[in-house]
Amino acid sequence: MRELIQLLKYQHIRPAAAVLGGMLSEAISKLGCVADTGRMLVIPVPLHRRKLSERGFNHSELIAEAALKREPGRRLSMDTSVLKRRRETQSQTGLTRHQRRENVRGAFLVEKSPVVAGRSALLVDDVFTTGTTVSECARTLLRAGASKVFVATVARTLKLEAQTIQIIRNVRTMAAAG
């Protein structure tokens, strides 16, 4: 799973999005949220415009698009213009829960509140680690009037794995400082 996500995000191997989209489609089915609502708004977690320019695409958007292709009978519509990242944030990789929360606090805004008002939203991201990014996005959408926000990701980082990544990052920092 990690390799697929890294192929997409860092090596720009776009066919990986189709595989991840299939997995996301299964996750959406398990959520059971689509049947309970009217037409659901699918919103990928946005990248900052600078990161989007560097990468050339939003990986969460590609994964969501691939998932929606597998859901033709469902009442899902994607809108990438609703939720925006208002400021650049540092990579969440290796940050503690508190650092992650501070990193994304106030980082998102809803530009089209009427599109969101009274509707259920399905927020899509690639990896759920501590939930701080999707929590901040959900909070922003709810403040803009969304009736409910569901979250679907293709991967979940285990706490031990996240701690290991932090330890490795600290060791590299100490080694570089020498």
What the block records as the tokens of 107 is 């980082």
Give the chain's radius of gyration (CA, Å): 16
In 3D, which of 132, 153, 141 has the Cα closest to residue 41?
141
- How many Cα neighbours within 13 Å face the side chain of 37? 22
The type of residue at 77 is S
User: pLDDT digit string (tens) for 86-120?
Assistant: 998 888 878 888 888 888 999 999 998 899 999 99
Q: Give Cα 160 distance to the centre of its chain.
A: 21
User: pLDDT digit string (tens) for 112-148?
Assistant: 889 999 999 999 998 888 888 999 999 999 999 999 8
Please report the DSSP string for 84-98 in residue order: EE-S-----TT--HH
Place of tokens 């927020």: 123
CATH 3.20.20.100 is the classification of domain 2-177: no
**What CA–CA distance (Å, rounded) separates 126 from 11?**
15
Comparing 157 with 85, the larger pLDDT belongs to 85
User: pLDDT digit string (tens) for 118-127?
Assistant: 999 999 998 8
Place of tokens 């208002």: 86
Reported as a pLDDT band with limits 50, 70 and 90, residue 178 is very low
